Amino acid sequence: MGFLPLWTQGTNRKPSDAYAAPVRWTVHGERTIYESPWVGLVLVDVEVPGGPRFEHHVARFPNDAAGTVVTDPDRGVLLLWRHRFITDTWGWEIPAGALDRGETAAAAAERETLEETGWRPGPLEHLVTYAPMNGSCDQRFHLYRARSASHVGDPVDAAESERIEWRSLQDVRAFIARGEVGDGLSLTGLLWVLARWEATPR
């Protein structure tokens, strides 16, 4: 027997009945619980087709985020080693951050790389845009790749990371295998680039 939605369990409905019509939830409205320039929390009044109507918690982010996987044929991959207080973990990350008001994702990706590492990325190639937690928040991540970078100076904010390093692809694979890349945006970007690199090394 196939998967049966919770609201049909214990009834005589078959899995085929549950998906006879488009399964698109109806939004009746929402009310704000908390709001700030960085994040908001709302309760959305939703109704499941053929199922219940209830309030669903949703985090709303006014700004998307953008990150860049910077690679160089001689140096490797540009990474930051930093601590995240929310999860109380250390890990390797790519340079990334929120878009400023009116800023494009590509411009933010370039700016964040320069500010966090002191390296200006070369031409940016868009990799993917995705919603990392689309069951509970509306933020989107934009990932780019730069195949070169030029050193400009020290990073703008020294508190962003403990150290900035160029690491080999072999190192990156080992970091991922050891669970040292816990940041979702960084993990997605690095795996994407590794997959492309292995398919067509360049």
Work out the end-to-end distance of the chain between its first and last CA atoms, rounded to an integer number of angstroms: 47
Backbone angles phi, psi at 177, to 5 degrees: -65, -35
Distance separating alpha carbons of residues 46 and 24, to the nearest angstrom:
10
Of 37, 50, 119, residue with least CA distance to 78: 119
Whole-angstrom CA distances from 117 to 32, 84, 96, 142, 161 are 37, 17, 10, 19, 9
What is the model's pLDDT at position 157? 80
Query: How many CA atoms are closer than 13 Å to the CA of 9, on its beta-carbon side?
Result: 6
The pLDDT tens digits along the chain (202 residues) read 344 455 445 555 555 555 556 788 999 999 999 999 999 999 999 999 889 999 999 999 999 999 999 999 999 999 999 999 999 999 999 999 999 999 999 999 999 999 999 999 999 999 999 999 999 999 999 999 999 999 999 999 888 899 999 999 999 999 999 999 999 999 999 999 999 876 554 5
Give the pLDDT confidence score for residue 93 in this predicted structure: 98
For the chain, give every domain's residue range: 22-60, 65-199
Cβ neighbors of 158 (< 8 A, separation 6 or more) are: none
How would CATH label the architecture of 65-199? Alpha-Beta Complex (3.90)
pLDDT of residue 189: 97
Contact call for residues 71 and 147 (beta carbons, < 8 A)? yes
